[in-house]
Amino acid sequence: MIIDSIKNIKMYNMPDKVLNICAKVNSLLERPNGKYSLEDGIFVVVQRYQTVPDETRMMEAHQNYADLQYVASGKEQIGYAPLKGQVPAIAYSEQKDAAMYDCNSSLLPVEEGDFGLFLPQDLHKPGIGDGTEVQKLVIKIPIEMFIDKL
């Protein structure tokens, strides 16, 4: 798990295709809410929503994709916990590439211009807050793109 300013993303060992996408976030943000295929199995989810109380959300984990969550405007907290022995409350769905967990987490602040990177071993719960408006991109990156980078 990484949380940092998008300005610092080149400091991390990201796949070049992800860095190229991050350089184009403004044009992606012009799209309506929805899921858009990009290249090489990468897709982006454009989201605009209001944050919700912590107790209304569950933690999630993915197996096939890493989540790069970029907050373009607003602020939220993202719940985080390492995936270590927890049992899913909702079993893994291959179609959604997600299992859901009901467990404690640390809440990490993420503000405008910040990103969070969550790998399969990272439980995460985005969108936590007091009703603040958020505009966000979630870039879904096939996990195999990171294999050579680790």
Residue 131: pLDDT over 80: yes
> pLDDT-derived band of residue 149, with 50, 70 and 90 as boundaries?
low
**The pLDDT of residue 13:** 87
* CATH label of the domain that carries residue 68: 2.60.120.370
Question: Domain limits at 106?
Answer: 2-83+98-147
Residue 60 within any structural domain of the chain: yes
The contacts of residue 4 (CB under 8 Å, 6+ apart) are 11, 12, 114, 115
Q: pLDDT, tens digit, for every residue of 74-90?
A: 999 999 999 999 999 99
Residue 88 within any structural domain of the chain: no
Residue 90 within any structural domain of the chain: no
pTM over 0.85: yes
CB 116 within 8 A of CB 124: yes
